[in-house]
Amino acid sequence: MGLIYSRTIDVHRPKTQAVAGTANVATLVGYTGTTIDTTSLTGETIIYSQIPASIQFKSPLSRGESTLPSDTHAPGAWEVFISASYAAKGTIINRDVLVDDLSNRYQVEDSYWTAFGYNLRARLLEL
């Protein structure tokens, strides 16, 4: 760790399984999706463990749906930076889960690679 990458994170990938259902019981319109696989002990595969990262809060610039003066801003996002020397290109994808050294959990919304490494936009997961 250093001054820039002052935090550590684990990168987890949720194990998913395909499920089928119906959108409307009356019309029996089918759909498919994924759910977290609860048959394993953890439901997640660890991709990286204890790698240095920089985690920074990014405040939204817009307010919620209405524009009343007392309204709060929309939820913020977290920017997570990982050096190219700690994570290879293509190994962290959207929907991966980051667990930081304070046990906070984040879900990756946007994962993109730069010449310096990963720049991830994530949302804090509520338990």
Q: What are phi and psi of 26, to 5 degrees?
A: -65, -40
Does residue 43 lie in a domain region?
Answer: yes
Domain hosting 41: range is 7-124
In a domain, 2, yes or no: no
Confidence band of 59 (pLDDT split at 50, 70, 90) = confident
User: Domain containing 29 — which CATH number?
Assistant: 2.40.10
Joined together, the tokens standing for residue 1 give 């760790």
Bridge partners of 10, per DSSP, are 99
For residue 116 the two structure tokens come to 């310096």
As a whole number, mean pLDDT of residues 21-35 equals: 53
User: Count of domains in the chain?
Assistant: 1
Rounded Cα distance, 63 and 75, in Å = 9
Considering the domain boundaries, does residue 34 fall inside one?
A: yes
Amino acid at 108: V
95 touches 106 (CB < 8 A):
no
The whole-model pTM stands at 0.73
Instruction: Express as a percent the part of the chain with pLDDT over 70.
Output: 66
Residue 57 — very low, low, confident or very high, per pLDDT cuts 50/70/90?
very high
Q: Say how far apart CA 15 and CA 32 lie, in whole Å.
A: 16
- Paired residues of 111 in beta bridges: 120
